[in-house]
Amino acid sequence: MFFSIVIPTYNRADRLLRCLNSLVGQTFKDFEVIVCDDGSTDHTKAIITQFANNLNIKYIYNDNWGGPAKPRNIGLKEVSGEWTCFLDSDDWWKASKLEEVKKQISKDYNIYYHSLQIVTSQKELDIIKCRRVNNKNPKLDLLINLNTLLTSSVCIESELLKRSQGFSLDKDFIGLEDYKFWIDLGGSGGVFKRINMCLGYYFVGDSDSITFEDERQIRRFEQLYDPYLNDPALIKSRERIIGSLNFHIGRIIQDANLNKSYKQYLFKAFLMGGVRVKLMALKRLIKL
């Protein structure tokens, strides 16, 4: 196989149907699909059965763990493709996705990603545009300039994944395990390439989303950033890393209308952050 596609899912049978239909329609056909079920109690298995004749599909069921990290890691152990793509079960791809990614692949990069169109139950919204990751120090870039990789857009050389530790199983990172994984890969040989195209759809607005924009998410960012704040190799960039953490906290407080002040965090982000974070913090402060 050229591509392996890893899909974690939990009680999303109807949306998984849409997701898998987008794979049937791919113009590039040399791929396998690995659906990793985190203990669904709905008709997910019946949906998988419908695709037995249309896709090279494998279904793995495990007891509920409570997030996508463990099912993704289970899927990573099963891949046979040269390249591994991630796709969440409520997202889906354009028909040209795999064909376009294959065109871009070269020996110079081992992680590819692209933009996605935001979609709700009612309509299509803006495109989430990804920026380029600075490959001089991708780990530091992702820390100080924030995450830009959308999981359902990411394709990684399988050999790099085999050398990695996989997604963190620390439940303090649920909702941020993908961001942490990109940072880790950036520090262990990952070379990133942005494909300047929108090749899929990112579904938002469901009540079953595990990414909560509230106090829990603030604590997750604090847990995520903490080891990097004390990393001797990053000491020269510590101030900018602190600025990024404060931007995340201020943004969450502001967007979620939490009962606390966000101004101090955005102001600190403006003072301490890198250029990108400064501009983003200033934009929010101007709206006050």
CB 185 within 8 A of CB 156: yes
Task: Please tell me the predicted confidence (pLDDT) of residue 75.
Answer: 97
Task: Please tell me the predicted confidence (pLDDT) of residue 125.
Answer: 86
pLDDT in tens, 85-116: 999 999 999 999 999 999 999 999 999 999 99
CATH 3.90.550.10 in the chain, residue ranges: 3-203
At 126, list the tokens.
């803006």
Three-state secondary-structure class, residue 144 = helix
Task: Please tell me the predicted confidence (pLDDT) of residue 287.
Answer: 78
The reported pTM is: 0.94
Give the percent of the chain with pLDDT over 70: 97
CB 194 within 8 A of CB 182: no
The CATH code that applies to domain 3-203 is 3.90.550.10
Task: Please tell me the predicted confidence (pLDDT) of residue 137.
Answer: 97
Q: What is the dihedral of CA 57, 62, 65, 70, to 10 degrees?
A: -50
- CA nearest to 151, candidates 77, 93, 212: 93
Give yes or no for residue 160 having a pLDDT over 70: yes
At 129, list the tokens.
């545009």
pLDDT in tens, 132-144: 999 999 999 999 9
At 222, list the tokens.
């604090």
In whole angstroms, how far apart are CA 42 and each of 9, 10, 12, 60, 62?
11, 9, 8, 15, 14
Task: Please tell me the predicted confidence (pLDDT) of residue 201.
Answer: 97
Sorting pLDDT into bands at 50, 70 and 90, what band is 259? Answer: confident
CB 131 within 8 A of CB 148: yes
Task: Please tell me the predicted confidence (pLDDT) of residue 229.
Answer: 94
Q: Give the C-alpha separation, 151 to 67, whole Å.
A: 14
Task: Please tell me the predicted confidence (pLDDT) of residue 121.
Answer: 82
pLDDT in tens, 191-245: 999 999 999 999 996 555 545 568 899 999 999 999 999 899 999 999 999 999 9
